[in-house]
């Protein structure tokens, strides 16, 4: 099944919810069990569901890949949080991306921001091309989009904030141009979570998440989700969800659903901590530049104020350290609370060097054109005490510049992992 080539209409918005984010996060999809009265939903491990007559299932489900109670409840919750009519869950953020790309006909053309997650870049350049979908990248999509659109362009792919330079895209500006030519806009909202940004409200047609990050929030589930309003998209993507079968297990859906119930608390705390760490980095003589959309100094702060809840910046930031690649790597080894690891969005703070880790697969010239230099350090602020995080960043900066020689990745043997 492929997406229509006819221009799409901007789909109708889902009805406004009566309740606010925290109430929706805790209650949507979490009704009491009608049989036992259990307040927390049971994990439904059954792969198949009884039928009363041929083709007449007793309940809403037939076979676990097509649908199951835990996935269904999680999807309903995410749809409500993204102000969408529908959500579909997948086995990873990457499987979500792949399923959307596979919905395009061979010969389709996609325009993407250059500064995307490394795995998304890998899929666009090494997998999508194998089934005849070409992707053009641009570092400044609001300026370039009109020139890059061809008659074959079917999709615009945006990450805002981008990974790892935290650049922002004005979703409404891009969507207005794309919709004039019947092109769909997809926004990867992983970095902010639905608490801070709802891209469908700004004109996007599909919002995607690596649930692995903020939505689950506890670094123990790999999962993805897409949310949207169009009935036609729902039919196509649901068909592919079942046909490709890249679906999450009931247990993972249950865990991620539990995780999302505290998303609003975690997102606020992580944003507060990221702002504190940004302030400390901006004051430091050892830092060249800081990228944080919550900061007044961010060059696109106006977009953050327009698109983000209360202008919040989220828990992610990156900075360029004085001393190049060596200093960046040493910094990541010298922190004691921040763990040197890939990924983001968990309750624990992480630090990494994108050029040598998450974005290593992108050719150096393209990577640097997008601002991903070897001295760039990416930080995911967790929900520890902000004062402790600031102290940790300060001591690590001092160590990198004047500190002891680190030989085995463990400064003073006192790393907490």
Ligand X SMILES: Cc1ncc(COP(=O)(O)O)c(C=O)c1O
DSSP summary character for residue 297: T
Cα 70 off chain centre by: 21
Per rule CB under 6 A, count of chain residues that contact ligand X: 15
CA–CA separation, 80 and 17 (whole Å): 8
Interface pattern 252-281 for ligand X (x via CB under 6 A): ------------------------------
CA–CA separation, 308 and 153 (whole Å): 28
Instruction: Look up 65 and say whether it is catalytic.
Output: yes
Least distance between ligand X and beta carbon 157 (Å): 11
Q: Which listed residue (86, 117, 123, 214) is catalytic?
A: 117
Least distance between ligand X and beta carbon 312 (Å): 17
Residues 122-161 that bind ligand X (CB under 6 A): 159
Residues 203-222 that bind ligand X (CB under 6 A): 210, 212, 222
The H or E element that residue 274 is part of is: helix 263-283
Least distance between ligand X and beta carbon 349 (Å): 16
CA–CA separation, 170 and 160 (whole Å): 8
In the list 114, 190, 291, 307, the residue contacting ligand X (rule: CB under 6 A) is: 190
Residue 220 or 283 having the CB closest to ligand X: 220
Least distance between ligand X and beta carbon 315 (Å): 13
Instruction: Look up 214 and say whether it is catalytic.
Output: no
Instruction: Look up 392 and say whether it is catalytic.
Output: no
Residue 216 or 336 having the CB closest to ligand X: 216
SS3 378: strand
Using the Cα atoms of residue 168, residue 362, residue 100 and residue 156 in order, give the sign of their dihedral.
positive
- Residues 6 or more apart whose Cβ sits within 8 Å of residue 179: 8, 10, 185, 203
Instruction: Look up 375 and say whether it is catalytic.
Output: no
Using the Cα atoms of residue 313, residue 317, residue 320 and residue 323 in order, give the sign of their dihedral.
positive
Binding interface with ligand X (CB under 6 A): 92-94, 117, 119-120, 159, 163, 188, 190-191, 210, 212, 222, 224
Q: Please identify every residue annotated as catalytic.
A: 65, 117, 188, 213
């Amino acid at each position: 099944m492929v997406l229509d080539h006819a221009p799409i209409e901007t789909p109708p918005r889902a009805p406004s919810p009566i309740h606010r984010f925290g109430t929706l996060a805790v209650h949507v999809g979490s009704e009491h069990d009608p049989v036992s009265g259990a307040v927390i939903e049971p994990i439904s491990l059954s792969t198949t569901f009884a039928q009363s007559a041929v083709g007449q299932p007793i309940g809403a489900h037939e076979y676990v890949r097509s649908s199951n109670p835990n996935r269904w409840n999680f999807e309903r919750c995410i749809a409500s949080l993204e102000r969408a009519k529908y959500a579909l869950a997948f086995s990873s953020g990457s499987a979500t991306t792949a399923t959307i790309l596979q919905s395009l006909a061979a010969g389709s053309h996609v325009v993407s921001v250059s500064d995307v997650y490394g795995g998304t870049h890998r899929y666009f350049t090494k997998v999508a091309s194998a089934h005849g979908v070409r992707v053009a990248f641009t570092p400044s999509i609001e300026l370039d989009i009109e020139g890059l659109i061809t008659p074959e362009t079917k999709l615009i792919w945006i990450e805002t904030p981008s990974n790892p330079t935290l650049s922002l895209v004005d979703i409404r500006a891009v969507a207005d141009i794309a919709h004039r030519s019947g092109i769909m806009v997809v926004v990867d909202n992983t970095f902010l979570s639905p608490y801070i940004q709802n891209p469908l409200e700004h004109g996007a047609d599909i919002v995607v998440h690596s649930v692995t990050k903020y939505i689950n929030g506890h670094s123990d589930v790999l999962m993805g989700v897409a949310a949207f309003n169009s009935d036609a998209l729902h039919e196509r993507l649901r068909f592919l969800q079942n046909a490709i079968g890249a679906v999450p297990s009931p247990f993972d859906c249950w865990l991620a659903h539990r995780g999302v119930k505290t998303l609003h608390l975690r997102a606020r705390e992580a944003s507060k901590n990221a702002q504190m760490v940004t302030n400390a980095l901006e004051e430091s003589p050892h830092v060249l530049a800081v990228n944080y959309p919550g900061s007044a100094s961010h060059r696109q702060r106006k977009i953050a104020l327009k698109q983000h809840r209360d202008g919040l910046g989220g828990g992610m930031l990156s900075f360029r350290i004085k001393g190049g690649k060596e200093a960046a790597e040493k910094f990541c080894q010298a922190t004691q609370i921040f763990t040197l690891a890939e990924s983001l969005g968990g309750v624990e703070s992480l630090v990494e060097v994108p050029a040598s880790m998450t974005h290593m697969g992108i050719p150096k010239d393209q990577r640097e054109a997008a601002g991903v230099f070897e001295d760039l350090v990416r930080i995911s602020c967790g929900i520890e005490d902000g004062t402790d995080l600031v102290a940790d960043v300060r001591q690590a900066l001092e160590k990198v510049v004047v500190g002891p020689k680190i030989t085995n990745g463990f400064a003073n043997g006192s790393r907490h992992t």
